[in-house]
Amino acid sequence: MRNIKINKKINLLKLITILLFLIITVRITDIQIFKNDYYIDKYKDTYKYVYSLTAPRGRIYDRNGILLVDNEKINVIRYSNINIKTSDEEKIALKVSKILNEDKNEILKRMRSGYSFDLKTIKENPSAEELKQISELKYDCLIIDFEWVRSYKTKYFLKMFGTVGNIPYEKKDYYLKEGYSLNDKVGISYIEEAYDEILKGKKDKYILKNNKYILVNEAVNGNDIYLTIDIKLQEKVEKILESEIKKAKKEPNTKYYDHSFVIVSNPNTGEILAMAGKKIVDNKFVDITPEILTTTIQGGSSVKGASQIVGYQTGALKIGEIRRDFCIKLKNMNAKCSWKSLGLINDLEALKYSSNSYQYQTAIKLGQGKYSYNKILKLNPQSLKKYRDIFKEFGLGVKTGIDFFESTGYSGNKSNSELILDYAVGQYDTFTPIQFSQYINTIANGGNRLKPKLLKSYNLKNMNILTKVKSLNSLTVEKEYLDRVKKGLKMVMEPGGTGFSYIPSKYKAAGKTGTSTSYLDLNHDGIVETPATSNIFVGYAPYDNPVVSFTVISPNVKLAYTNSTYKTAVNRKITYEVAKNFFEIYK
């Protein structure tokens, strides 16, 4: 009896299974045979709108309306596989491969890539003869189309324009959320990437009708942008860099010197008027301007303006205080001295003549230390934090806020007494060239740390939108202290000062020179161990009403220890020529 019940259940399951398979079979037959055309039309309707490969992006101008980057239309051969059988596709690919002189399989790979009803690109920028022969095939599936590419009207500032390309895989989720399609072309570096949302245009829109694509909406240009860059000044700066670097390479002790950076800025707005980095490689110049945002270097004496502020603000230094310049000798360490014995000097003269000893004494007082010759010096480790906190207010050791990827520099994690002394004279942490520019701008404009700007304005819906000056913070130091430092920086540029002859005296500049230690990997073992000398200059003019700031950096101008004492003056020469040309343009 029990076996009979089991058999009935098994038979029932078999019947249900057969019925299910029968229903599925009928359904598949209905879809694939009787209603095949209906569902194909439905699928086509889903993808009935197709867009062109690219749209014309907004043009890029300099601050004076000079066109720098435009668009150029190039022809492309595209393919539509609507109602094309596999066998026909093989024949078409063979004919196309012969015209384009390419492997048939490569052509097939392009015809079968992407989504089924997408238009596929077979070749960009074909020759006139190739276009003629393709059109003579008279295949509706082969379409002569076009796309937009960037056209450059200048050879200067090229690296910073960036590039346009396919959406990077690692950023696809971001772009999809922003409403982009995965086959869109986007800005993938520097200006093109930073302002892609403004520059991107709207692509041609096609509708699928009677197995043909018909244009329904023409492409719309992206919005134009105007940079803060003065391309005429930029050209001058780049030429000066190449000329002075080339001349310096003929001088002694310059074997390892090969590049310099320049930033010319408006300290009252943060606008960058010119920005360039040049490196000589095998007697040819390479554009390394983007490294202004990422390369790091110790500031040397160029940061003494900020160091002096630390002293005033913490009470470790009094305005007008007179001190004797002498070498600081700690136990088991080499003596720490100024570049020469400067005798009795006050706080202004300490900046004018660039006294290291004066800054060491401030750091010792700040750290509540007691100095004795050749003895151990103990300083409050919090002293380093006090220095760093005020330096950051100037933009040293923090991101500047510029609209591109930037480095913050190296911040050491040790805080012994010697390192605190080193920090006070710019020989510990490292900073980027753009940070030095922000630092001197903050001093020049009276205490506002402004975001560096490369975008001046842009056109949006027939409106010209001027980007605003953005203050990131104001100095928390007393005005009299900042004014005192500015007076000292003015004296730096006068006869006897370390910055004299860096900028023509008639332009009444203020500034600070710096010499720091960098390290080279001469053994190519991945370890930097050979010390070299680097030069830094930061300054502004006129000192009583600044309209411009200059930051000039030349790393590795000399190995630290050589038999010869000769050191190239390339940093001074670059600064002088850049300043002279700026004022010739902006009379």
Q: Do 538 and 455 fall into the same domain?
A: yes
Handedness of CA 191, 278, 272, 299 (dihedral sign): positive
Give the CATH number for residue 473: 3.40.710.10
Q: Do 199 and 271 fall into the same domain?
A: no
For the chain, the domain total comes to 3
Handedness of CA 558, 408, 426, 542 (dihedral sign): positive
Q: Do 317 and 444 fall into the same domain?
A: yes
The tokens for 411 are 């911040």
Question: Residues 239-289: pLDDT tens digits?
Answer: 999 999 999 999 999 999 999 999 999 999 999 999 999 999 999 999 999
Q: Do 349 and 490 fall into the same domain?
A: yes
Does residue 362 lie within any of the structural domains?
yes
Give the CATH number for residue 137: 3.90.1310.10
- What is the strand order of the sheet 212-217 is part of? 49-51, 205-209, 212-217
Q: Do 194 and 316 fall into the same domain?
A: no
Q: Do 152 and 244 fall into the same domain?
A: no
Catalytic residue of the set 260, 301, 338, 417? 301
Which pLDDT score is estimated for 78? 87
Domain that includes residue 82, residue range: 49-227
Q: Do 59 and 112 fall into the same domain?
A: yes
Q: How many CB atoms lie within 10 A of CB 53?
A: 18
Last residue of a domain, one of 227, 243, 267: 227
Q: Do 500 and 540 fall into the same domain?
A: yes
Identity of residue 499: G
Angle at 126 between CA 122 and CA 131, to 5 degrees: 90
**Is residue 207 scored above 90 in pLDDT?**
no
**Is residue 505 scored above 80 in pLDDT?**
yes
Q: Do 87 and 202 fall into the same domain?
A: yes
Angle at 467 between CA 462 and CA 468, to 5 degrees: 140
Q: Do 61 and 121 fall into the same domain?
A: yes
Q: Do 204 and 251 fall into the same domain?
A: no
Q: Is 301 part of the annotated catalytic residue set?
A: yes
Q: Do 461 and 320 fall into the same domain?
A: yes
DSSP 38-66: HHHHHHHHHT-EEE-S--PPPPEE-TTS-
Last residue of a domain, one of 205, 227, 249: 227
Spell out the residues 6+ positions from residue 204 whose beta carbon is closer than 8 angstroms to its own.
51, 52, 55, 215, 217, 218, 219
Does residue 42 lie within any of the structural domains?
no
| pTM exceeds cut of 0.85 | yes
Question: Residues 282-306: pLDDT tens digits?
Answer: 999 999 999 999 999 999 999 999 9
Does residue 246 lie within any of the structural domains?
yes
Last residue of a domain, one of 177, 198, 227: 227
Does residue 44 lie within any of the structural domains?
no
**Is residue 49 scored above 80 in pLDDT?**
no
